[in-house]
Each structure stands twice: as C-alpha cells, then as structure tokens.
Amino acid sequence: MTAAGEEMYALVERLYPLCRSITGDGVRATLEIVGEYLPLQVHEVPTGTQVLDWAVPQEWNIRDAYIADTAGNRVVDFAASSLHVLGYSVPVSATMPLTELRGHLHTLPDHPAWVPYRTSYYTPTWGFCLAQETLDALPDGEYEVHIDSTLADGHLTYAEHVIPGQVADEVIVSCHVCHPSLANDNLAGIAVATFLARALAQETPYYTYRFLFAPGTIGAITWLARNAERVERVKHGLVLACAGDSGRLTYKQSRRGDAEIDRVLRHVLAASERPHHVAEFTPYGYDERQFCSPGFDLGVGSLSRTPYAGYPEYHTSADDLDFVSPEAMADTLAVCREAFAVLDRNRRYVNLSPYGEPQLGRRGLYDSLGGRSDAKQAQMAMLWVLSLSDGEHSLLDVAERSGLPFGTIAVAADALHGAGLIKA
C-alpha cells in the first residue's frame, strides 16, 4: 500500500496543472492520462442532448487569460493557476478601471492569501479569482482584461472502465473529473478509483465493477439517462471524493440507509478501528444524490476523508499538492479494498443438515483446525454459520451477530460448503 500511495500521489501531481471543467479539452486530457493506467471507454455526448431534466451544455475551452496593468505586467495570470479564471467565463478583451473590474473579481477576505474556486456554468458571464492580498495591492487605474475562451456547441466527455465479474450484477464506483487544480476535492478520488480498479482487475470478482469518470452532477445525470434500461443491474455503488487529506474517514450512507453497501462500510470501518464517522444521507454533496434520487433509488453511498465543504481549504488554492498525502490515499484505497472484499464475498446459505448439529469431526472439519492459534474462534465461526444458514441471513449478518471477523466467518463458510453441509 505504501508503493500504491506514492503512485497515486504521482498521478495527482500529473493531473494537478490541467484546467478541467464540466466539458472541454481539460477533461479529455485528464482521461488520456488515466487511460495510461486503465483501458477506458470514452463517451462524447453532443451539446443539446436531453438527459433527464437537463440538457448537455455547450463545451467550454480556454487558452489564456490575464489582468495586466498599464505597464503590461500580468497581475493575475491563468498560466500561473487555472483557478484564476471563473469557470465557464465567456471571452472578453477590454480595458477598464479597477472600480468597474471589481464587480468581476472573486476573493476570500477571511483567507487573504488563498484563491477561491468559482464557476458560472449556466449563466454566461466572466470573472477572475485572486487572493485578497493581491487585490488589496492593486492601485486604482486602468487594467487590460483578456480571456481567450470559447463557449460553443461541442460535447460532454466521460469514461468508463468495466471489470467483468462472475455475475452481471454491478457495483458502480464513481468519481468526478470536472474540477481544476484541486488536489483533494477531485484528484485524490480519481487516483484512488484508478488504483482500486487496477487492484480488482488482478482478482476474479463476483460482481461486475463499473468505474465511472465523469463531470459532477451533469456527468452522472448523463450516464443515468443513457443507461436507464440497465440501471437495475446496479446493486451497489460508491462515490469517491476528498480521498487524500489527513482527516478521519467519513462514509455517507445511501438514501435508503440500510443498503448492503451501507452495512458493509459500517462493518468494515468499525472492525478496522480506524477513526471514522458515518453520516446520514442528505440530498446535497456529490453524485450519490443523483444515483439515490427517488426514481432510481440505488444503493450508493459516498466515501471521503474530511467531507464535502468540511475543511477551510475546500474549493480554494490551499487544496494543493501539500494538502494531500500518499499515506492518506493509501488508507482510503485499503478501506475500499476491504469493503469490496466483504461485499463480493457476502452470501446467504442454507444448512443442508439442519436437524441438530452435524458431526464436524467425522467430516474432518475439526482436524483441519489442529494447531491453529484461533482454532476456538474458527470452530465457533462454523457453528454460527450452521446456525444462521437458513436462507435469510447473510455472512455479514453472521459476523455482526457473532461478533467474529467477517474473514473468519467467510473461511468457515467455505469449509462447510466444501464438506457439503451448506449451499448458497
């Protein structure tokens, strides 16, 4: 996991300078880099396409932007940070006094050294984001304002990576690819999703895993609209965001609150004894709110560290490469792998010898425990599995009721299944 953490951090470093938005070449460049790690199926959806109650917007691209003083010095420069331009700014080329320009400037007075991240996706306008201390240092006078951008019919871009499973039922893992230079809110989630997919590809999973790399909100809505006929295959799901900061892990439950993914994450986090918080669902946050909307009502939760808008650096230039760490991303990845191992192995069984306790010794099941330091625990796991294998209780039910580790319960179930005492 240490090596994976370093590799994820290196991926975040590569993606950090790119200017992403909900459409445009920055998204494509991001997916090209992710495509070096995973084979991706990239989808281009034309402007104007009706997607549920929305329509795919015009595509936005930007080449340069700056505010320059009368001496030609760029006092605000898009080349220095993609955060400096209001996302989706229409093109502008003008000279105006500072008094007029102020109406197009966005700062954070409470954090004067930070640059805010702001957008205007669906209201045509333009603007710049800068540090309050930079604005305070600007003298009155004329300034040249230039934004070399285009807002025109084009496409919305998203990508999928699918890992075939033993069954067609799917687990969807989603992350958003629409934010510019924000290391935690965006890039850490992309990195964890990428390396989670690589890890699962080395296994033979029970479920089919579908990884979705899409712009927030409109991307998930577009995917749901284009896949409405097969959404019923999605049995479980997880949205990854804010996956690389030093805060405790936070799992936000699905709208249902009792979906299997909710139970699995609660169990895994509690069993790991990591500092964590389980939050109730709210219809605000990331794309779990799209997957959990009442018409779909999918069992999709969200895993993050410090959650949405829960840290001062959120949506500011302080969410930079120093704000995330390889260790935090590796820990998030480890929890995802632990959770999906439980989800993938969780089954219901029927006891084929339900009248009284079957003789385990005659079947060599006790002998197989000889010399094990946890022999007593393993024996109890077998008895618990036999007791609760009534077709109604899953292995996770058995683990929770017995207080035994899920892995121990799963091993016991395998042994009992091999001896012909239970069937799935």
Neighbours of 133 (CB within 10 A): 12
Location of structure tokens 């400037």: 105
Q: pLDDT category, 367, cuts 50, 70, 90?
A: low
Q: How far apart are CA 48 and CA 64, in angstroms?
A: 26
236 marked among binding-site residues = no
- How far, in Å, are 174, 221, 223, 291, 300 from residue 287 at the CA level? 8, 9, 11, 7, 9
161 marked among binding-site residues = no
- The predicted pLDDT at position 256 comes to 95
348-423 — its CATH code?
1.10.10.10
List, in sequence order, every residue forming a beta bridge with 142; answer none if it has no partner: 97
Q: What are 32-63's pLDDT values in tens digits?
A: 999 999 999 999 999 999 999 999 999 999 99
Domains in the chain: boundaries: 2-57+155-345, 61-152, 348-423
Same fold, 61-152 and 348-423: no
Phi, psi of 85 (to 5 degrees): -110, 135
61-152 — its CATH code?
3.50.30.90
* 61 sits in which H/E element: strand 59-68
pTM, entire model: 0.95
CATH topology of domain 2-57+155-345: Aminopeptidase (3.40.630)
Position 264 pLDDT exceeds 80: yes
Position 373 pLDDT exceeds 70: no
Position 371 pLDDT exceeds 90: no
Listed range (247-251, 303-307, 357-361) with the worst mean pLDDT:
357-361
Q: What are 147-199's pLDDT values in tens digits?
A: 999 999 999 999 999 999 999 999 999 999 999 999 999 999 999 999 999 99
Identify the burial level of 139 via C-beta atoms within 10 angstroms of its C-beta, where 0-12 means exposed, 13-18 middle and 19 or more buried: exposed
- Residue by residue, DSSP assigns 68-115 as E-TT--EEEETTT-GGGB-BTPPPEEEEEEHHHHGGGEE--TTSTTPP
185 marked among binding-site residues = yes
**Are the CB atoms for 92 and 166 separated by under 8 Å?**
no
Q: Length of the chain, please?
A: 424
Q: What are 267-284's pLDDT values in tens digits?
A: 999 999 999 999 999 999
Under DSSP, the state recorded for 283 is S
